[in-house]
Structure 1
Amino acid sequence: MWKKDWKVILFVLIFFSLGGASVSAAFWEMDEHPMIHDPSMIREGDTWWVFGTGEVNRNGIRVIYSHDEGRNWNEAPVVFPQPLSWWRQYVPNHTSNQWAPDIHYYNGRYWLYYSVSSFGSNQSIIGLLSTESIASGNWRDDGLVVRSTTQNNYNAIDGELVIDAQGEPWLAYGSHWSGIKLTRLNAQTMKPTGQTYSIAARPNHPHGAIEAPSITYRDGYYYLFASFDSCCDGLNSTYNVVVGRSRNITGPYFDKVGNNMLYGGGTVFDSGNDKWVGPGHQFIYNNNLYVRHAYDADRNGLPSLLINDLYWDNQGWPTY
């Protein structure tokens, strides 16, 4: 009997030492997963902040925060309780809520890129706010960053600030149409300078369904995460996250089997499960956190915040 018990104990010890508990340990447990769509996350002091697309038919960008390492989340006032007047010059029929905010810290300021558009249209803009302290709530309007019109074959939404290996800023953006774009930014104005590159697309997909780029640099590679297929339809959403990598920030980006992301390539990174449906609009923080929303099957498809610790395998590919 003792020998049998000893074998069980040995198995348990080996199981945990090899990472048998990694799934639960890597998943940020929350008392309740807060409602959020298109999350972007950052830490300021002892506070975690998450910015997300505003609620439908309400003004602004949704903001939540946590003082206890993500266990509990509180609502903060929305950014843009009232729309900025200059938006209608470029997008006359924009929705009341703003989309896909991206928060990053660079050169002593927090930069918040956001999208103004309407569903299914590529008459869109990416705008910019900045502040020295998120907690202060004092945002400076830094104006228009990039725009698209119905004459363009791309969509200027889903912007993300990317810092390259030399510490220089870039903006990745794009949704559907001809896919994901990338442009260098001026480090003082944080506005585009120079040419625009195409780095990922789905030319053979009937709707070109790729969006929400997130690029991170690690050990000689730039990793491009993107969301494939459709969001925003609750439990009918088919969103999933793919990844590829490149030695150069401007590409080409290839998936694990060598397919170019400019022509539809991308290794599936996260396709969800029965509980968490349609994960997407991912955000990578400090190369060790993987943030996204998914639709909660136990709450009638409520878009909810998910956070996992991010790991890297011996071939340099991300896992969680």
Structure 2
Amino acid sequence: MNNSKGFDNVNFYEMKWDLKGDLWAHDPVIAKEGSNWYVFHTGNGIQIKTSEDGANWKQAGQIFPSLPEWSKQYVPEKEEESIWAPDIYFHNGTYYIYYSVSTFGKNTSAIGLVTNTTLNPENPDYKWVDQGYVIHSSESDNYNAIDANLIFDQEGVPWLNFGSFWSGIKLIQLDPVTMKPAEGAELLSISSRTEQPNTIEAPFIVHRNGYYYQFVSFDFCCRGIESTYKIVVGRSKTITGPYFDRDGVSMMEGGGTLIDAGDDRWIGPGHCAVYFSGDSSLLVNHAYDSLKKGKPTLRIKPLHWDQEGWPHI
């Protein structure tokens, strides 16, 4: 299943991913409609970038003019306009973007949902409609309601996975009509680390060849060239887990097979998203550019899969 209406005819492995233009981005996700590419990322009102070829990028405004009014009930202390960690999914003619409103280092947080039927601002139907509140966390909770990611299981049931630090990554079943938590849905734990602080966040789940793959980020973001972010993965036969890494270690016990820990230039890669087009796939994330004083930068690269079904770059 793909989450865009433009990827299906693209072989990601045949494209050159030498990115240029306006590449400042944190927590990016990507989509394609027609011949145009779009990136959504953390920033004032949810920042939008566009590209005609997936390589040359330019800034293209934002979704919200200001913080959604509903969010002030759940995160009253937030003053700046930055909305975090959008996730995009195309389903039945609608784009669903889940987003986070929070303050750094606290779990007084909320996840919201905004929808549109097109990503093209020149389309007369272009209109972002805020569907409002989805789920929240407060100081009394042992989880953090940020970094949402939507996945439909193989039976067509929608699930939202999310989480950052505290007790780790959570999963909750959604109502297919409202796309918000189903009545009586249980909040499940699907990954955690064994030490404190529990440095795990930004989950992204995809399905491929009989397995659900859960990608997460370990360690610390947002410290420029001092960041220690890295991308790891585990897999499960069922959406609810348990997820295990390549060595058979449970992701509830700190397991995770390393995908990308960066290099001398690209420090702290993390908050990744994975996209398929046919048999090819992409890994999209940010990393901190050591040649530009640790500027958070959009990274897009092919994601390959070995004979045992494990992803690698």
- Report if TM-score (shorter chain) is over 0.5: yes
1:308 aligns with 2:308: no
Match of 2:42 in 1: 53
Pairing partner for 1:150 from 132, 139, 145: 139
Structure-1 separation of matches of 2:108 and 2:158: 25
The alpha-carbon distance between structure 1 residues 33 and 141, as it changes in their structure 2 partners (threshold 3 A), is closer
Match of 1:292 in 2: 285
Pairing partner for 1:228 from 211, 214, 218: 218
Q: Is the 8 A contact 1:27 1:309 kept in 2?
A: no
Q: Secondary structure at the match of 1:262?
A: helix
TM-score (norm 1): 0.88
Q: How does 1:257-272 map to 2 (within 5 A)?
A: 257-272=247-262
Task: Please tell me the residue identity of whatever aligns with 2:244.
Answer: F
Q: How does 1:55-134 map to 2 (within 5 A)?
A: 59-67=44-52, 69-94=53-78, 95-134=80-119
Q: Secondary structure at the match of 1:98?
A: strand
Shift of 1:309: 1.4
Structure-2 separation of matches of 1:196 and 1:239: 26
Off by >4 Å, runs of 4+ in structure 1: 24-27
Kindly provide the CA deviation profile for residues 212-252 of structure 1, in whole angstroms up to 9, marking residues without a partner as x: 00000011100000000000010000000010000010000
Higher relative contact order (CA 8 A, sep 6+): 2
1:167 aligns with 2:147: no
Structure-2 separation of matches of 1:141 and 1:271: 36
The alpha-carbon distance between structure 1 residues 27 and 213, as it changes in their structure 2 partners (threshold 3 A), is farther
Structure-2 separation of matches of 1:246 and 1:118: 32
RMSD across aligned positions (CA):
1.4
Q: Is the 8 A contact 1:177 1:208 kept in 2?
A: yes
Structure-2 separation of matches of 1:80 and 1:30: 26
Task: Please tell me the residue identity of whatever aligns with 1:64.
Answer: K
**Structure with greater Cα Rg:** 1
Task: Please tell me the residue identity of whatever aligns with 1:157.
Answer: I
Q: How does 1:185-264 map to 2 (within 5 A)?
A: 185-193=174-182, 194-204=185-195, 206-264=196-254
Structure-1 separation of matches of 2:247 and 2:15: 27
Task: Please tell me the residue identity of whatever aligns with 2:110.
Answer: I
5+ long unaligned stretches in structure 2: 1-12
Shift of 1:188: 1.2
Kindly provide the CA deviation profile for residues 119-139 of structure 1, in whole angstroms up to 9, marking residues without a partner as x: 001010000000101113411
Q: Is the 8 A contact 2:213 2:233 kept in 1?
A: yes
Aligned-pair identity (%): 49
Shift of 1:96: 2.0
Q: Is the 8 A contact 1:178 1:203 kept in 2?
A: no
Q: Is the 8 A contact 2:21 2:58 kept in 1?
A: no
Shift of 1:33: 6.3
Structure-2 separation of matches of 1:270 and 1:25: 21
Structure-2 separation of matches of 1:142 and 1:183: 18
Structure number having the greater helix percentage? 1
TM-score (norm 2): 0.90
Q: Secondary structure at the match of 2:291?
A: helix
Shift of 1:27: 5.9
Structure-2 separation of matches of 1:30 and 1:118: 31
Structure-2 separation of matches of 1:295 and 1:172: 25
Structure-2 separation of matches of 1:41 and 1:214: 13
Shift of 1:185: 1.0
Structure-2 separation of matches of 1:192 and 1:123: 19
Aligned residue pairs, count = 291
Q: Secondary structure at the match of 1:288?
A: strand
Q: Is the 8 A contact 1:63 1:78 kept in 2?
A: yes
Structure-1 separation of matches of 2:255 and 2:174: 27
Shift of 1:167: 2.3
1:182 aligns with 2:159: no
Structure-2 separation of matches of 1:280 and 1:31: 20
